[in-house]
Amino acid sequence: MVVVDTAPFIYLLEDHPDFAPKFQGLFEAQARGHLRIALSTITLAEILVGPLRHGQDTLARRYERALAGFEVVPVSAEVAATAARLRATSGLRLPDALQAATAIECGAVALVTHDRDFSRLQGLRVLTGMPTT
């Protein structure tokens, strides 16, 4: 199982011409049953903000249905405590610390993201769709 951060889902849902292809293989592997994808309730909330902010309730509901095929991991007390430790030691922003803590607490083999801020973490494999520079 891998936990996927918010941006890769948004890229796929919005069919972003530059970034969606970087993560397409991941979602295809899940569809073929080669891996499980989980997301945090933080990701669900972040994905829905854009459509709801613009009064696009139908689009928000479509996104919710699209995400129903993935395991949604709630922010539990354990996830919150791990996120606090990660914030204290790495300086991550709270949403990012919650994403990483979700991956750690659910035993994911990696966190998939498009955010370089996670590079400061130790003890968690972080896979990005970003080219290395």
Q: pLDDT for 36-85, tens place per residue? A: 999 999 999 999 999 999 999 999 999 999 999 899 999 999 999 999 99
Amino acid 67: pLDDT: 94
Strands 37-40 and 110-113: unpaired
Do residues 25 and 58 lie in contact, with contact meaning Cβ atoms separated by under 8 Å?
no
Do residues 3 and 103 lie in contact, with contact meaning Cβ atoms separated by under 8 Å?
yes
- The residue count for the chain: 133
Q: Say whether pLDDT at 110 is over 90.
A: yes
Q: Which long-range contacts does 25-32 make (Cβ < 8 Å, 24+ apart)?
A: 26/2, 26/112, 30/70
Q: Which residues contact 117 (CB under 8 A, 6 or more apart)?
A: 92, 93, 96
Q: pLDDT for 15-36, tens place per residue? A: 999 999 999 999 999 999 999 9
Measured between alpha carbons, how far is residue 26 from residues 1, 2, 12, 58 in Å? Answer: 11, 10, 11, 26
One-letter identity of residue 35: L
Report the first-to-last Cα separation within the chain, whole angstroms: 28
Q: Say whether pLDDT at 132 is over 60.
A: no
Return the CATH architecture of domain 2-128.
Answer: 3-Layer(aba) Sandwich (3.40)
Q: Say whether pLDDT at 120 is over 90.
A: no
Q: Say whether pLDDT at 131 is over 70.
A: no
Amino acid 116: pLDDT: 80
